[in-house]
């Protein structure tokens, strides 16, 4: 079967019931999405299916009809997205294991709702568990990213000026705009 | 004694050694040296300046030989070296480095001593110095006990300074300029004329030079990196999905495995029937391992599916098979001999006999660590070598156990310690690594990555023990005049050191940790430990004994204050005998506006704990929302002596407190028919974003010694919350988790 991940089409031959997460991790060696629970309770495996966050550990690969975006498709160390940059600015990560999923949930939230309230942040992020307790900084980072999105043209340019790639479509706002 | 106290400096003598094939330099001398492990695989022309600094074509690498589990230790340790070496953190690579006794934890055993952390008497300090000797002989490279910062503060700054001196001398020899006229900046030696020589070009010449025995360390006033918040060295990888955790190891032709071992913990398997699993898709091999089975497959998920289809006949538990049965062992221990009586001031029996006694009984359940990254390890046996990749807190033990399993010699066992998705103490037990090695032995030539399901992880932990406390006390006008506190639990230190092969004799201080040594002055004050039979697997869990004892001790103090209508924070201040602790409490009082009244339906609680040498006070403000409790604000003040990286310390304190709040509100492991009932995050949950309060944190530096903060944020959380619930509802909850008694929003 064919699977489009971060703009690349892959041909995979696996059990159709295999959750997307294990196709990404063990078949395609895309390791950003993490295994935490396998039952949609922790969010470590969050990826986007056509821009919507899904728990890839509980999503059979055969049910995937659309484009998959993983954390690797959101930005790279040399060209981070606005959300990733906010994560760095706030030094959010501790162990970092949950953070791919946190960033994917936050990115999906901000794409739909560039200035979420505290309650909206809670609602969008409560499926993502963090055993290190980085929630206060996640909240601050989402707010910073949201503020950056209020002046998207300037901010997105600034960030991409610092990067070696010049792909503004990687910034969440550009995708929606 | 005085001599022993200065050993850490001398330890870092460097000398040049020539080996065939090129110049390598810098090994670490001690009375019986553990060689510099960096010399083993060093490339020609590279220099290993002490076991912590390596300079080669790729630039400067700093070995930060402690588990990076999220606590930011790689950044802080690298900053210690970088500060003295005069390089920026951007200029260096930070590595965990190999497993080596050279990286032994010199201070971990101090916590086993019957001296309070604030006791700086000659006897206590002398005993602490002596623990360095057995610690060194054992050579345990262990991350735990909030020791990393404290243990390395001298070692790594000295390593950086010694390396810098060698480089300066090499530049002096080369240029003929007096060493006193040379300076360094950002990885270069600079001559008076402004000519620059890079450390890289000087490295091999520096290898020939015997540096001074005790290089001068910078005074704090000259620090550029230390004392200031640094960007974590792993922050970009961790924000872009590119950080490599153990679970992400990828090798050519690698296969994937999972295991299922007896849920009657640590008991063997009688037999198994894998006939269904054998023919399942992707399955390559089914292997019997210690106490269970492993499935090797072409994808982790195939392994997960196949292992479910294997029927196992398990040997039943050799311990009481229910929570009640295990609890009874703790109850019974109160009737047996006491295990420790580290505090026994005044005449407690007399005071209780002649006073009006207030009493109570407290209890906490078993807890799992539940790291976000489930236990996993990759092992590859090939060409007489065993390569192991495992997120673990004790790589030297991995070598010992891998040697036992494979019969290989130590030189042929290579342990790599990648980033860890949380540790909290769990990865100091390496049962999962041993499993990967057993699999590798049966799969010679093929690398195999073994990953536990979350279910295996939750049900095969080594748990924070169920613990109980009983107190009797007498109140005076402004403070207690007598306290008799009895604490009972399994012995965590004994259990874990025993599994490592070092049975501990004498008292197990985990039982009374952070209860007997609190900086409160009470005329008649006794803390007695009782050791429950330790047959159910228990171990260190972030803050160890302090995780239960702060709840016991600080709830008790709160009860006593309320019994006399006293302000519980002021009463603590009145009792306090240690200045830094007092300042911590005063600061949290002021930050939280403790003395100002709150709106209707709000209340505050306070908790204090001196653990791992760090006095930490927390205030929690809660509010009632349609019959449920919501944590609104949390205030933390801690004194770490010297704050090397304030922003990271803040992260550890808030994260530690949230870890403690999760346990207080909802953490509970129960046992039925010998097996753990909880299996995954749906029934062993954590605080989530919507329950996380606002935080305000202050870090003080009045303490006389530098201390680590991976753990001290956790203990005061439970009593602060429970005391706030009492203030709001009048309900004194004496048994965790709190959600059995009140609902949380
Ligand atoms: S691994 Fe998918 S939600 Fe936990
Ligand atoms: S940063 Fe460790 S689990 Fe979130």
Q: What is the pLDDT of residues B463-511, one digit of tens each?
A: 999 999 999 999 999 999 999 999 999 999 999 888 988 877 789 999 9
DSSP B35: P
- The residue that leads in pLDDT, B289 or B24, is B289
Residue A147's pLDDT is: 96
Interval between CA A55 and ligand 1 midpoint (Å): 6
Token pair in block for residue B425: 């103490």
Q: What angle do CA B510, B515, B518 make, to 5 degrees?
A: 130
Q: Any CB–CB contact under 8 A between B447 and chain A?
A: no
Q: A11 with A57, same domain?
A: yes
CA distance B552 to B115: 21
Q: Which of B250, B235, B242, B292 is nearest to B267 (CA)?
A: B292
Q: Has residue B6 got a pLDDT over 70?
A: no
Residue with the bigger pLDDT between B539 and B59: it is: B539
Average of pLDDT values for B683-700? 97
pLDDT confidence band for A162 (50 / 70 / 90): very low
Q: Sorting pLDDT into bands at 50, 70 and 90, what band is B26?
A: very low
Average pLDDT, chain B: 90
Distances (CA, A) of B570 to B559, B606, B718, B731: 14, 10, 19, 21
Res B47: pLDDT: 59
Q: Does A133 contact B453 at a Cβ distance shorter than 8 Å?
A: no
Give the pLDDT score at B206.
84
pLDDT in tens, B508-528: 999 999 999 999 999 999 999
Domain enclosing residue A132, as ranges: 82-166
pLDDT of residue B147: 86
ipTM given for this complex: 0.92
In this structure, the answer to whether residues A66 and A89 fall within a common structural domain is no
What is the pLDDT at residue B42?
55
> Rounded to an integer, what distance in angstroms lies between the CA atom of residue A81 and that of residue B64?
30
Residue B237's closest CA among A136, A96, A163, A104? A96
Q: Residue A163 and residue B623: Cα distance in Å, rounded?
A: 46
- B302 interaction partners in chain A (CB closer than 8 Å): 15, 18
Q: How many domains in chain A?
A: 2
Q: Is the same domain home to A118 and A86? A: yes
pLDDT at A125: 98
Mark whether A91 and A150 lie in a shared domain: yes
d(CA B612, CA B148): 12
pLDDT, mean of residues B383-408: 96
* Distance separating alpha carbons of residues B422 and B425, to the nearest angstrom: 9
Task: Please determine, for residue B683, whether its predicted confidence score (pLDDT) is greater than 60.
Answer: yes
Look at residue B225 and tell me whether its pLDDT is greater than 70.
yes
Residue from A44, A97, A106, A127 to probe ligand 2 pocket by mutation (most atoms less than 8 Å from CB): A97
More confident residue, B135 or B156: B156
Alpha-carbon gap, residue A63 to A42, rounded angstroms: 21
Go through B353-365 and write b for each residue having 16 or more CB atoms within 10 A of its CB, e for each that does not. Answer: eebeebebebbbb
The reply to whether residue A136 touches residue B451, judged by beta carbons under 8 angstroms, is: no
Whether A155 and A92 map to the same domain: the answer is yes
Predicted local distance difference test score (pLDDT) of residue B102: 76
According to the model, what pLDDT value does residue B246 have? 97
| pLDDT tens figures, B79-118 | 999 999 999 999 988 988 888 777 878 777 666 566 667 7
How far is it, in rounded angstroms, from Cα B478 to Cα B238?
51
pLDDT range class, residue B211, cuts 50, 70, 90: low
- Report the pLDDT averaged over residues B434-449: 98
Q: What percent of chain B has pLDDT over 90?
A: 77
Query: Other C-beta atoms within 10 Å of B520: how many?
Result: 21
pLDDT digits (tens, 9 = 90+) for B576-585: 999 999 999 9
Closest among B442, B457, B447, B443 to B378, alpha carbons compared: B447
For residues A106-125, average pLDDT: 97
Q: Are residues A62 and A103 in the same domain?
A: no
Are A69 and A90 in a shared domain?
no
Residue A172 domain-assigned?
no
User: pLDDT at position B118, please?
Assistant: 72
Return the residue in A26, A109, A139 with the most chain B beta carbons within 10 A, the one to mutate for interface testing. A26
Q: What number of helices (H) and strands (E) belong to chain B? A: 20, 29
Beta bridge partners of B344: B526
Q: Is residue A171 part of a domain?
A: no
For residue B462, name the pLDDT band (cuts at 50, 70, 90): very high
Rounded CA-CA distance A109/A125 in Å is 9
Residue A156: pLDDT band (50, 70, 90) is very low
Residue A174: what pLDDT?
34
Q: Which of residues 452-481 of B touch A (CB under 8 A)?
A: 453-454
pTM of the predicted model, to two decimals?
A: 0.92
Say yes or no: A33 and A106 in one domain: no
Q: Is residue A26 part of a domain?
A: yes
d(C-alpha A86, C-alpha A137), whole Å? 10
* Residue B730: partners with Cβ closer than 8 Å, 6 or more residues away: none
Mutational test site, ligand 2, from A87, A127, A132, max ligand atoms within 8 Å of CB = A132
Asked whether residue A28 is domain-assigned, the answer is yes
Q: How many C-alpha atoms does B470 have within 13 Å on its Cβ side?
A: 12
Domain end residue (candidates: A74, A97, A128): A74
Q: Are residues A97 and A65 in the same domain?
A: no
Atom of ligand 1 nearest to the CA of A34: 1
Tell me the chain A residues in contact with residue B681 when contact means C-beta distances shorter than 8 Å.
Answer: 36-37, 39, 41-42, 129
Ligand 2 binding residues, C-beta < 6 A: A 93-99, 130-132, 134; B 70, 372, 422
Taking the C-alpha atoms of residue A77 and residue B240, their distance in angstroms, rounded to an integer, is: 6
pLDDT at residue B138, rounded to an integer? 67
What mean pLDDT is predicted for residues B558-572? Answer: 98
Q: Is residue A138 part of a domain?
A: yes
Among left, alpha and beta (phi > 0; psi -120 to 50; other), residue B158 is alpha
Residue A176 within any structural domain of the chain:
no
In a domain, A173, yes or no: no
Q: Is residue A161 part of a domain?
A: yes
Three-state secondary structure readout of B133-176: HHHHHHCCCCCCCCCHHHHHHHHHHHHHHHHHHHHHHHHHHHHC
Looking at the fold, whether A101 and A70 belong to one and the same domain comes out as: no
How big is the CA angle at B650 (ends B625 and B706), to the nearest 5 degrees?
Answer: 140
DSSP-derived letter for residue B31 is: S
Mean predicted lDDT score pLDDT of chain A: 89
Closest Cα partner for B94 from B228, B225, B241? Answer: B225
Question: Burial of B41 by CB count in 10 Å (0-12 exposed, 13-18 middle, 19+ buried)?
Answer: exposed
Is the pLDDT at B68 greater than 60? The verdict is yes
Quote the pLDDT of residue B327: 98
Boundary of a domain, candidates A48, A74, A100: A74
**A42 lies in the same domain as A86:** no
**What pLDDT does B24 receive?**
29
Domain boundary among A54, A74, A94: A74
Distance from CA of A177 to the nearest CA of B (A): 23
Mark whether A111 and A142 lie in a shared domain: yes
Domains, chain B, with CATH or none: 3-105+140-240 (3.30.365.10), 247-316+375-451 (3.30.365.10), 323-367+462-740 (3.30.365.10)
CATH number at residue A121: 1.10.150.120
Rounded distance between C-alpha atoms, residue B504 and residue B514, angstroms: 20
């Amino acid at each position: 079967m064919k699977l489009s991940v971060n703009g690349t089409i892959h041909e995979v031959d696996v059990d159709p019931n295999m959750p997307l997460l294990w196709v990404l991790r063990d078949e395609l060696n895309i390791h950003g999405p993490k295994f935490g629970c396998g039952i949609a309770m922790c969010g470590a495996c969050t990826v986007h299916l056509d821009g919507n966050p899904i728990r890839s550990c509980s999503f059979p690969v055969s049910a995937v009809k659309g484009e998959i975006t993983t954390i690797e498709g959101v930005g790279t160390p040399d060209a981070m997205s606005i959300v990733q940059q906010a994560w760095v600015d706030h030094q959010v990560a501790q162990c970092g294991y949950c953070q791919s999923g946190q960033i994917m949930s936050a990115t999906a939230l901000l794409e739909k709702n560039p200035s979420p309230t505290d309650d909206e942040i809670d609602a969008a992020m409560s499926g993502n568990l963090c055993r290190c307790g980085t929630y206060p900084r996640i909240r601050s980072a989402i707010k910073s990213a949201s503020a950056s999105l209020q002046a998207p043209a300037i901010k997105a340019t600034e960030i991409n000026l610092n990067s070696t790639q010049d792909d503004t479509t990687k910034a969440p706002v550009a995708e929606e705009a | 004694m005085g001599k022993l106290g200065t050993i850490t400096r001398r330890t870092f003598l460097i000398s040049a050694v020539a080996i065939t094939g090129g110049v390598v330099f810098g090994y670490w001398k001690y009375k019986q040296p553990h060689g510099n492990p960096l010399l083993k695989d060093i490339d020609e022309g590279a220099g290993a300046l002490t076991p912590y600094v390596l300079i080669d074509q790729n630039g400067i690498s700093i070995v930060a030989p402690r588990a990076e589990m999220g606590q930011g230790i790689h950044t802080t340790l690298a900053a210690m070296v970088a500060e003295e070496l005069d390089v920026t953190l951007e200029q260096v690579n930070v590595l965990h480095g190999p497993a080596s006794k050279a990286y032994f934890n010199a201070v971990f055993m101090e916590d086993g001593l019957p001296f309070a952390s604030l006791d700086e008497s000659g006897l206590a300090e002398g005993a602490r110095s002596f623990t360095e000797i057995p610690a060194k002989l054992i050579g345990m490279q262990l991350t735990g006990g909030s020791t990393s910062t404290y243990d390395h503060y001298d070692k790594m700054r000295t390593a950086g300074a010694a390396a810098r001196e060698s480089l300066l001398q090499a530049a002096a020899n080369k240029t003929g300029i007096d060493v006193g006229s040379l300076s360094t900046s950002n990885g270069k030696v600079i001559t008076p004329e402004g000519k620059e020589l890079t450390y890289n070009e000087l490295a091999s010449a520096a290898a020939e030079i015997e540096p001074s025995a005790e290089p001068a360390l910078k005074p704090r006033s000259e620090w550029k990196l230390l004392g200031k918040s640094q960007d974590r060295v792993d922050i970009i990888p961790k924000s872009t999905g590119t950080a490599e955790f153990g679970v992400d190891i990828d090798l050519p032709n690698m296969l994937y495995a999972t295991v299922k071992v007896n849920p009657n913990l640590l008991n063997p398997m009688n037999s198994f029937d894998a006939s269904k699993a054998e023919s399942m898709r992707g399955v390559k091999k089914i292997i019997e391992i210690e106490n269970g089975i492993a499935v090797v497959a072409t994808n982790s998920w195939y392994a997960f599916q196949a292992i479910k289809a294997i029927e196992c006949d398990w040997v039943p538990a050799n311990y009481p098979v229910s929570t009640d049965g295990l609890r009874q062992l703790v109850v019974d221990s109160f009737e047996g001999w006491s295990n420790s009586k580290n505090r026994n001031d005044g005449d407690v029996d007399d005071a209780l006999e002649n006073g009006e006694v207030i009493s109570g009984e407290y209890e906490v359940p078993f807890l799992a660590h539940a790291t976000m990254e489930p236990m996993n390890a990759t092992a590859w046996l090939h060409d007489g070598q065993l390569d192991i990749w495992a997120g673990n807190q004790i790589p030297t033990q991995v070598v010992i156990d891998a040697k036992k399993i494979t019969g290989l010699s130590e030189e042929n066992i290579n342990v790599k310690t990648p980033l860890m998705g949380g540790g909290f103490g769990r990865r100091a037990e390496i049962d999962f690594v041993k499993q990967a090695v057993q699999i590798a032995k049966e799969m010679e030539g093929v690398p195999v990555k073994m990953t536990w399901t979350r279910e295996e992880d939750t049900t095969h932990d080594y748990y924070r023990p169920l613990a109980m406390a009983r107190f009797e006390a007498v109140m005076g006008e402004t403070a207690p005049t007598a306290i008799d506190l009895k604490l009972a639990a399994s012995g965590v230190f004994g259990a874990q050191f025993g599994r490592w092969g070092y049975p501990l004799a004498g008292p197990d201080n985990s039982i009374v940790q952070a209860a007997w040594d609190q900086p409160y002055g009470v005329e008649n004050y006794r803390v007695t430990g009782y050791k429950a039979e330790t047959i159910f697997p228990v171990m260190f869990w972030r803050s160890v004994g302090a995780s239960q004892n702060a709840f016991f001790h600080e709830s008790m103090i709160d009860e006593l204050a309320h019994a006399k209508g006293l302000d519980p924070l002021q009463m603590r201040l009145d009792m306090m005998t240690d200045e830094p602790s007092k300042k911590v409490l005063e600061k949290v009082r002021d930050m939280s506006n403790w003395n100002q009244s709150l709106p209707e339906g709000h209340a505050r609680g306070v908790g204090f704990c001196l653990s791992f040498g760090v006095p930490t006070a927390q205030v929690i403000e809660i509010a009632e929302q349609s019959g449920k409790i919501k944590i609104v604000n949390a205030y933390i003040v801690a004194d770490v002596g010297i704050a090397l990286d304030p922003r990271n310390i803040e992260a550890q304190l808030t994260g530690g407190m949230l870890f403690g709040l999760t346990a207080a509100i909802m953490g509970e492991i129960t046992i039925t028919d010998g097996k753990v009932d909880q299996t995954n995050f749906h029934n062993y949950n954590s605080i989530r974003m919507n329950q996380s309060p606002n935080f305000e944190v202050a870090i003080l530096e009045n303490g006389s010694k530098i201390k680590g903060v991976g753990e001290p944020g956790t203990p005061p959380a439970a009593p602060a919350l429970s005391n706030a619930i009492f203030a709001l509802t009048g309900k004194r909850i004496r048994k965790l988790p709190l959600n059995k008694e009140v609902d949380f929003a």
